[in-house]
Amino acid sequence: MGIFSIFKNKEKRKKAEKYRIGMEKTRKGSFSLLKQIFSRHNQITEELFDELEEIFVMADIGVETVVKFVDELKSDPRVKNLTSAKDLQPIIIDKMFDIYLKGEIVDSNLRFNPEGLTVFLFVGVNGSGKTTTIAKIAHRLKNEGRRALIAAGDTFRAAAIEQLEIWGERIGCPVVSRPQGSDPSSVIFDAIQKAKAEGYDVVLCDTAGRLQTKINLMKELEKIKRVISRQVPGAPQDTLLVIDATTGQNGLSQARAFIEATDVTGIVLTKLDGTAKGGIVLAIRDQYGIPIKFVTLGEKLEDIEHFDLENYIYGLFAEMIDEG
């Protein structure tokens, strides 16, 4: 099948190496049980499908997505002609592509304003890795030759402001801030004014993530977006929801809450290297139709990657693909 032949190419495997190394915990967690299943079953039976369903639920793919996935696997014409359970492996991988792509071309690139200043808005709960993600993306943009400015819009937490200022100093990226308790919209307004006056290319805006006060959060995000769009028509170009991959199904709940609160255009999945599950990528895409734009696979500034579906699948099934 396609993915097996793609990774026979040494150059392609080399490009996917960060995913292979970074997703080792995932591969050795729930997905490692697949090999055991295929070694126990010679024939394709209902019991085999039940065991696959259980593994995929354990891997955080999500019950709704798993039920649909297994039903489609059972009804796939290719399955009817198989004589060995092991021959299901490439079809399972193909189906994972289908879940994510949904018959579309999925663009994981950031959307830049071709006519001037670009604004990216970051949302997500405290502890999801939002502050570090902003720093990593700012660092990446700087290395691409873009002048980036950070707006410390999470004025609810003094720690968030301080962390961004420390990161900004470390990566050489200015941070616009006001004292704790200030109006977040005013901070972002100041940052955009500075960016326009001084010729910056991108403003990255942090926001508070207090889901326990969801109504207030929605009003705050709506106000921030109004302020941004008045200063830069068509902005924000991307609203990125940062989710900690290790939180599993709780991450899906967070996604639902923020998607209801604002127009999320992309997901940044952090700490993908730290989870023994990793199927949340497929669950998010299937349930909400929003693309994963970045994943983080380590703690260094450079450990952030544009999401690549082929590399992700390789990260899940490297040994199986290499053997195939």
Measured distance CA(189)–CA(166) in Å, rounded: 21
Query: Which one has a higher pLDDT value, 294 or 107?
Result: 294
Backbone φ/ψ region at 102: left (φ over 0), alpha (ψ -120 to 50), beta: left
Q: How far apart are CA 302 and CA 136, in angstroms?
A: 7
Q: How many Cβ atoms sit within 10 Å of the Cβ of residue 11?
A: 7
Task: Give the per-residue pLDDT at 5.
Answer: 77
Q: 79 and 48 in contact (C-beta within 8 Å)?
A: no
Mean of all residue pLDDT scores within the chain? 91
| CA 319 – CA 27 distance, rounded (Å) | 9
Q: 2 pLDDT exceeds 70?
A: no
Tokens coding 247: 């939180």
Instruction: Give pLDDT tens digits for 167-198.
Output: 999 999 999 999 999 999 999 999 999 999 99
Q: Which residues pair with 298 in a beta bridge?
A: none
pLDDT tens string 145-159? 999 999 999 999 889
Question: What pLDDT shows up at residue 4?
Answer: 72
Q: What does the chain come to in residues?
A: 324
d(Cα 76, Cα 95) in Å, to the nearest integer? 10
Say what angle helices 63-75 and 280-288 make with each other, to 10 degrees.
Answer: 90
> What is the per-residue pLDDT across 217-259, written as a single tens digit (0 to 9) for each?
888 999 999 999 999 999 999 999 999 999 888 888 888 889 9
Domains (ranges, CATH) in the chain? 2-106+314-323 (no CATH), 118-307 (3.40.50.300)
Q: Tens digits of per-residue pLDDT, 196-225?
A: 999 999 999 999 987 656 678 888 999 999
Give me the residue label for tokens 């544009």: 306
- Which amino acid type is present at position 52? L
pLDDT in tens, 85-120: 889 988 999 999 999 998 888 889 999 999 999 999
pLDDT of residue 1: 46
Q: What is the pLDDT of residue 211?
A: 60
Average pLDDT over residues 64-92: 91
In this prediction, residue 324 carries a pLDDT of: 63
Phi, psi of 117 (to 5 degrees): -65, 135
Of residues 83 and 144, more confidence is placed in 144
State mean pLDDT over 38-43.
87
The H-or-E segment that residue 150 falls in is strand 148-151
Among 84-93, 115-124, 261-270, the range scoring the smallest mean pLDDT is: 84-93
The string of DSSP letters for 41-80 reads: -SS--HHHHHHHHHHHHHTTS-HHHHHHHHHHHHH-HHHH
